[in-house]
Amino acid sequence: MTEPVAPNAATATLPPASANGSAPNDSTPPRRPTEAAPSRRGMSTRISGVRAALIVGIVALIVVLIFIIQNAHAVSISFFGAHLHLSLAVALLLAAVAGALVMAAAGTARITQLRQIMRRDRRNSNVG
């Protein structure tokens, strides 16, 4: 003789589903399946960031080297009374480096100014 099988508790409490996957007379939208754990592809680490930066740096270095090799002819440069004979590529590279240094100095000055303002505001809010 077989014993009657009790219905599974998970299926016994579920109402019959309609065509759209929700229960009849139910105003809640159907449940979305739970999202899987993030894949290892989406995760980034410091090492992966350094690796990507190195790859970009190497590509940029190769582009700069090609530029220098293709523009090796010498040009005459005069700047504030100084007269130099440099290759065109080196002159342009020096100008780019000088521009980057000026921008870095301006950015550093602005960051320092903002930090001083934040410190002053923090001190003033703690006092009063």
- Angle between helix axes 88-127 and 46-70 (nearest 10 degrees) is 150
pLDDT tens-digit map of 68-117: 888 888 888 888 888 888 888 888 888 888 999 999 999 999 999 999 99
**Whether 36 contacts 43, CB under 8 Å:** no
pLDDT tens-digit map of 29-72: 666 666 555 555 666 788 888 889 899 989 988 988 888 888 88
Write down the pLDDT at residue 27: 63
Write down the pLDDT at residue 115: 94
Could you tell me the two tokens for 104? 């870095």
